Amino acid sequence: MAAYLVFDLYGPFASYGDIAVGEYRPTYSYPSKSAVLGLVAASLGIKRKDETRLKALDDDLSTAVLVLQTGHLLRDFHTIQVPPATQLKHRTVATRKDELSLKKQNTIISTRDYRMDAYYRVALWSATGSSELIEIQKALSLPKFSPYLGRKSCPPALPFKAEIIDAENVRDAVVKPSFNLELLQLLGKIDSRAKFLLYSEPALGNKDGGMHLITKRDRLVGRRNWQYGERVEMVQYVGGEDVFQQNTKAY
């Protein structure tokens, strides 16, 4: 048996950045490890400049995501005004107001992807024991910084309801929680007879369900320079009858 911290992520908008080149900013169809740990770090009050604590968090925690609903893709044509680099020389620009106060402005055009009405269940487990999970559970109930679903414009629409669960493996852990079943019923779009994808790091995984491996580039290397390395995820199916086993009403 092992301890897992399990909680749900749901919001009208979410954006979990994929590899971005140029003006296009795509999103993964489910939360990346860096997105999940960014939310956790914000809740714990870890600042973005604290590379030591952020790297320790990434090294200690493993993640899994059960995709209950990927939502719909929204593509936003985005423009923003920024001063040219020549105007920023020898200036201290601390706020957006400071940027806009400069006389010359350039317009940057980008396209940004979002997921609408997406619903995920996340599991975390720690290499150093359950004490770290207990601290994170408390932080998710009373976060020190505002958590969001990938972008600041994407606040969560539900309390996280983080719960520590003892289970044989991560697959068993993500089907145990009974919280938010009422909301899943109200959404009315989730077929309880469907099979849902579970993406998890290899440790503590289970080879049932037609598992295969994929590679993601979301392992933190250096936050200061936005550097991320590759890691391996296992993919397997979880049956809806297991996810909704505690709910007797058909949807």
Beta bridge partners of residue 198, listed in sequence order:
66, 236
Structure tokens at 207: 């080879």
Please give the pLDDT value at position 84.
85
Please give the pLDDT value at position 203.
58
Task: Report d(CA 141, CA 147) in Å as an integer.
Answer: 11
Please give the pLDDT value at position 219.
84
Please give the pLDDT value at position 246.
52
251 residues of the chain, pLDDT tens digit each: 899 999 999 999 999 988 777 788 889 899 999 999 999 999 999 998 899 999 999 999 999 999 998 889 999 998 888 888 888 887 888 888 888 888 888 888 889 999 999 999 999 999 888 889 999 999 999 999 999 999 999 999 988 989 999 999 999 999 887 666 666 666 656 777 788 999 998 754 454 455 788 888 888 887 777 788 888 889 998 887 777 765 444 33
Whether the CB-CB separation of 77 and 111 falls below 8 Å is answered with yes
Counts of helices then strands in the chain (DSSP H, E): 8, 9
- The pTM of the full predicted model, rounded to 2 decimals, is 0.84
Please give the pLDDT value at position 9.
94
Whether the CB-CB separation of 5 and 124 falls below 8 Å is answered with yes
Please give the pLDDT value at position 184.
65
Torsions phi, psi for 24 (to 5 deg): -95, 125
Please give the pLDDT value at position 108.
85
Query: Count of residues for the chain?
Result: 251
In 3-state terms, what secondary structure has residue 2? strand
Q: Other CB atoms closer than 10 Å to residue 26's CB: what's the count?
A: 16
Please give the pLDDT value at position 138.
96
CA distances from 185 to 37, 65, 176, 188 (A): 28, 20, 17, 5
Please give the pLDDT value at position 32.
92
Look at the block and give the residue holding tokens 């598992």. 211
